[in-house]
């Protein structure tokens, strides 16, 4: 949270730069340190909770060399957040409810520093609507609505390419392209569909997949599954560990690199079965997956 506090200090001196829709942008150059900070701010619509009808919640994201930050400011009310952390919930569009942790501002009951600044801006860039639920003093959990469409956030925002360009030449969050030779697998329902790569090529993993499946929600790529021979498990684990910059994990029937989400916004895991001689690498681009509605397990 220290990086967030530094970013807030920088934010206080930011000057208006431009705006698009309801987003307001500012930038500031620290001439002493030669650092530039950029912020994007948006305010809530009328609160969903009627008991706090006069309250307004503001979201601010800050990007600087000192670190990225994401925090909430509450007007005409106070947060009820006891140190060290409290809960904040968010829902983008019709996606799943995200449970996040937040820290109260120093000497302030009107500011919360929220975890996951990179994930927030990357998801907001793909979304149109947002509901935020925060603990409000004497009112309990209270909800605020936002129109987050039109966010412009370049520069240090993590790339949407990620692990091996989405695995197999796809691009994360890119629209579905019927010309890529993908075949409907019959897996999924409604706007949540999965497609099989009819001609899977050898990837940078160093193994030739037996099958690659890409999943799209509303035509936007959010997940890929790569099947390969179980005997190649060691080789794939080494390749993925090197790519994501993590020590090689102990081999079990399931290994996961999901803790690196905030670095490159990917959740990565491998599930294997020695008995069936099949292992599957599952890679999910978290911001796009955040927009996928909660769903029941669908089997083929």
- At 157 the pLDDT is 52
Q: Is residue 153 part of a domain?
A: no
Dist. CA 65–CA 158, nearest whole Å: 14
The domain of 274 spans 163-289
Residues 130 and 64 in one domain: yes
Residues 8 and 141 in one domain: yes
Residue closest to 211 by CA, chosen among 230, 231, 196 = 196
Helix or strand (DSSP H, E) at 118: helix 117-126
Tell the residue number behind the tokens 């996961």, with chain if given. Answer: 256
Dist. CA 194–CA 217, nearest whole Å: 9
Residues 130 and 13 in one domain: yes
Dist. CA 101–CA 3, nearest whole Å: 15
Q: DSSP code of 259?
A: G
CATH number at residue 48: 2.60.40.1880
Residues 90 and 122 in one domain: yes
Cross-strand pairs, 99: 89
Q: pLDDT (tens digit, 9 = 90+) per residue, 42-53?
A: 999 987 877 788
Alpha-carbon distances of 268 from 27, 78, 125, rounded to whole Å: 35, 38, 22
Helix or strand (DSSP H, E) at 132: strand 129-136
- The answer, yes or no, to whether residue 156 has pLDDT greater than 80, is no
Residue % of the chain over a pLDDT of 90: 30
Residues 95 and 180 in one domain: no
Alpha-carbon distances of 291 from 17, 74, 151, 170, rounded to whole Å: 30, 25, 16, 19
pTM of the model: 0.83
Q: Is residue 30 part of a domain?
A: yes
Residue closest to 167 by CA, chosen among 114, 210, 226, 254 = 226
Tell the residue number behind the tokens 């930038």, with chain if given. Answer: 27
Residues 138 and 188 in one domain: no
Q: pLDDT (tens digit, 9 = 90+) per residue, 257-286?
A: 665 555 678 888 888 887 888 889 888 888
Tell the residue number behind the tokens 């409290």, with chain if given. Answer: 86
- If one counts every other C-beta atom within 10 angstroms of the C-beta of residue 252, the result is 11
Residues 221 and 247 in one domain: yes
Mean pLDDT in residue range 150-172: 65
| Structural domain ending residue among the three candidates 147, 174, 190 | 147
Dist. CA 21–CA 42, nearest whole Å: 9
Average model confidence (pLDDT) for the chain? Answer: 80
Residues 210 and 252 in one domain: yes
Q: Based on the structure, what is the number of domains in the chain?
A: 2
Tokens matching residue 268: 């990565």
Residues 182 and 227 in one domain: yes
């Amino acid at each position: 949270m220290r990086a967030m506090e530094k970013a807030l200090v920088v934010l206080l001196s930011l000057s208006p730069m431009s705006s698009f829709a309801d987003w307001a942008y500012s930038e500031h150059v620290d001439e002493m340190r030669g650092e530039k900070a950029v912020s994007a701010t948006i305010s809530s619509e009328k609160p969903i909770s009627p008991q706090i009808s006069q309250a307004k919640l503001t979201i601010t994201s800050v990007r600087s060399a000192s670190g990225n930050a994401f925090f909430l400011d509450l007007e005409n009310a106070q947060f009820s957040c006891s140190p060290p952390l409290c809960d904040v919930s968010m829902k983008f569009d019709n996606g799943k409810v995200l449970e996040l942790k937040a820290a109260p501002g120093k000497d302030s009951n009107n500011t919360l520093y929220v975890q996951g600044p990179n994930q927030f801006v990357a998801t907001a860039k793909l979304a149109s609507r947002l509901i935020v639920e925060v603990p409000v003093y004497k009112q309990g959990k209270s909800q605020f609505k936002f129109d987050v469409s039109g966010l412009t956030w370049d520069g240090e925002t993590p790339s949407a390419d990620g692990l091996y360009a989405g695995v197999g030449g796809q691009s994360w969050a890119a629209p579905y392209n019927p010309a890529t030779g993908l075949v409907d697998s019959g897996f999924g329902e409604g706007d949540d569909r999965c497609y099989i790569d009819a001609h899977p090529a050898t990837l940078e993993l160093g193994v030739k997949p037996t099958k690659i499946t890409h999943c799209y929600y509303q035509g936007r790529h959010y997940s890929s599954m790569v099947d390969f021979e179980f005997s190649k498990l060691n080789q794939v684990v080494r390749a993925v560990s090197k790519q994501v910059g993590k020590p090689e994990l102990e081999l079990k029937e399931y290994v996961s690199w999901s803790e690196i989400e905030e670095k490159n916004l990917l959740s990565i895991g491998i599930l294997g079965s020695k008995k069936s001689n099949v292992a599957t690498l599952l890679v999910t681009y978290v911001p796009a997956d955040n927009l996928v509605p909660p769903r029941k397990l669908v089997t083929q």
